[in-house]
Amino acid sequence: MKVMVIGGTGAIGSAVVEQLRLRHEVIVVGARGGQHQADIEDISQVRALFGKVGRVDAVVVAAGALHVGPLAELAPEHFHVGLRGKLMGQVNVALVAREFLNDGGSITLTSGVDTEQPIRGAVAASTANAAVQGFVRAAAIELPHGLRINAVSPTVLRESVHLFGELFTGFEPIAASRAALSYARSVDGAETGRVYRAW
């Protein structure tokens, strides 16, 4: 299969690239690194990206900005960071990918453990992640040509504990290589509308 991994240079993305490369041709897309660059918040950049790459069998997104901060300090613009980035960035990819996927192809998006397991400081993040999962559930029933769409909800990664560990006290971090297995289940599997919990 030909698989595009957007956010392929990040902590999760690079593990997904490594996992999928065992079996597939992988195209790595980053905001700055990778074989191609695109800011997924801008749907015209996503269109330009797919225009260059052409038809693919699977698209994985492990990208999108979120705001982390206490509820007491949140303003609407903090929510919009995640709505524009992690939510609509991924939705933009799904909307465009739909037109470039071969029959039976798949789209795999990324949510996060805080969708279902709230933690302090993550209200805006949980809101955006819950929206991603909702989008996946709904889009799954309307995609044509046997196209599939799933989400992976990773817990905190061992590789990211030094950045986010304080938020996730008591959560067992997992290696990115293990989280990447969930993406492989989505890409190589046959299910649709699922949330794979890499917890």
> Which positions ≥6 away from 21 have C-beta within 8 Å?
none
Indicate whether 118 belongs to the interface with other proteins (CB under 8 A). Answer: yes
Stretch that binds other proteins, among 22-30, 60-68, 137-145, 162-170 (CB under 8 A): 137-145
Encoded one letter per residue, x for contact with other proteins by CB under 8 A and - for no contact, window 12-51 reads -------------------------------x--------
Q: Is 104 left (phi over 0), alpha (psi -120 to 50) or beta?
A: left
- State which of residues 5, 85, 114, 148 lies at the interface with other proteins (CB under 8 A): 114
Could you tell me how far CA 109 lies from the centroid of its own chain?
Answer: 3
Q: State in angstroms the smallest separation of the CB of 67 from other proteins.
A: 12
What is the contact surface with other proteins in residues (CB under 8 A)? 43, 70-72, 74-76, 79-80, 83, 87-88, 91-92, 95, 98, 114-116, 118-123, 125-135, 137-144, 193
